[in-house]
Structure 1
Amino acid sequence: MKVVSPQISHKYDIGGIKLSLQNAAEVKAAYQDMMDGIKKKLPDAYLEGVQLQPMLSGGKEVILGMVHDPTFGPMLMFGLGGTYVEILKDIQFAIAPVDEREAREMIAGIKTYPLLAGVRWEKPSDIDALVYTILRVSRLVCDFPEIEEFEINPMMVFEKGKGVLAVDLRLILKRDM
């Protein structure tokens, strides 16, 4: 369960995410707890409601984002996602648009790349799906210059051949366009 609010972009930090809900009673209790907690922390936030998604298992969390730099234009960012991005700060940047070689370099350039490539008993992640997604996001932010910021975090990368899935997305448009 995730809160839906235009004022809340980092849902986890404010108690706007509840995981592993097993039945209707847990969903109802989690909803009430979430709404009460957020209203205490952010009384002026407009709460549209919640979004329910199935729990995912497996995969690695990555982040894929873009910020518009006044000098260079759209700057893509890639790294391990979820809360890891804030702790490890293991990210790579590239000026969009990027080609396939640059997308692969972004992925291989993070220090934690071995976790995606497959270490010891773990199977490799779907690097080709990651590359494809980076290329599509690169094209998107170049085709729509009104996008100021864009972030998929987390995006789950499953084992090779099983793709990626955006779990949460934030998009901010420029105000002056």
Structure 2
Amino acid sequence: MATSFMHPLIEKALNEKRNLTEPESKTLLKEYGLPVPAFWCCTSAEEAVAAAEIVAYPVVMKVVSPDILHKSDVGGVKVGLNSKREVTAAFKEIESAVQLHGTFSGVIVYHEQKQGTEIIIGATYDEQFEHALMFGLGGIFVEVLEDVSFRLIPITEGDAREMIREIKGYRVFTGVRGEGPKDIDSIVNALLQVSTMVKENPEIRELDLNPVFVYEKGLTVIDARIIVIS
């Protein structure tokens, strides 16, 4: 499938024979209306401290690298940073750890988000069926129970609502153990937005938004990975 227009972020990544970095992925998501935390890209400890003071403590810091997809596996993620001293130390630790595994392009810094109900939204590409959208609960549900649903892209609002209702853990969204119901409409909107984004950018071969925190009102994409190199 070909398009007459390729998104500049995707075109740049393909020209450099790499996948999108987390900042690039979140920038693309934001353009399609998906909520992401305000973030700053920093190439020095001083920049990271300045960013932390702008977004407000506590902050999360993650490595930015074209070579590393699983950041936590290489010591590339620090959470709960509460001071200039902690941010400075975290930057140096990430830089040192990551250089053993790939290129260090800096870090992304954002305010640590309130914990919500974790979901995963994904997309895959198949030569026969082209793109499919995936939805499920995050954490142990997707890793162990594989509690997910699929639809071919593009989807309708009805498809999105069916995907949500189909998973075994659906009751989590209706309110359990004293928690209020979660914002299902925001999940529907996110599924539709991802479907549109993938449809309009067929160069995407794999997409993984995990986790996405869902609240009683709204949701936030915490981590994002977009693969364009097969």
Identify whether the pair has TM-score above 0.5, normalized to the shorter chain: yes
Output the CA distance in 2 between the equivalents of 1:113 and 1:13. 30
Matched, 1:101 2:158: yes
Gaps of 5+ in 2: 1-60
User: 1: distance between equivalents of 2:136 and 2:95?
Assistant: 31
**SS of residue in 2 equivalent to 1:18:** strand
Are residues 68 and 155 of structure 1, via their aligned partners in 2, closer, same or farther at CA, if it must alter by over 3 Å?
A: same
1:171, CA displacement in angstroms?
A: 1.4
Distance 1:82 1:24, change over 3 A: farther
Structure 1 or 2: more helix by fraction = 2
Q: How do 1:1-150 residues align onto structure 2 when only pairs under 5 Å count? A: 1-40=61-100, 42=101, 45-82=102-139, 84-150=141-207
* Counterpart residue identity of residue 91, structure 2: Y
1:83 Cα offset (Å): 6.2
Q: Distance in 2 between matches of 1:174 and 1:2?
A: 22
Supply the distance in 2 between the matched residues of 1:39 and 1:173 (Cα, whole angstroms): 24
1:170 matched to 2:197? The reply is no
2:30 corresponds in structure 1 to: none
Aligned residue type for 1:86: E
User: What is the number of residues matched between the two proteins?
Assistant: 170
Q: Which SS does the other structure have where 1:93 is aligned?
A: strand
8 Å contact 1:59–1:125 — kept in the other structure? no
Work out the CA distance in 2 between the residues paired with 1:101 and 1:74: 18
Deviation string 1:95-114 (CA, Å, 9 cap, x unpaired) is 11111111111112222222
Secondary structure of 1:28 counterpart: helix
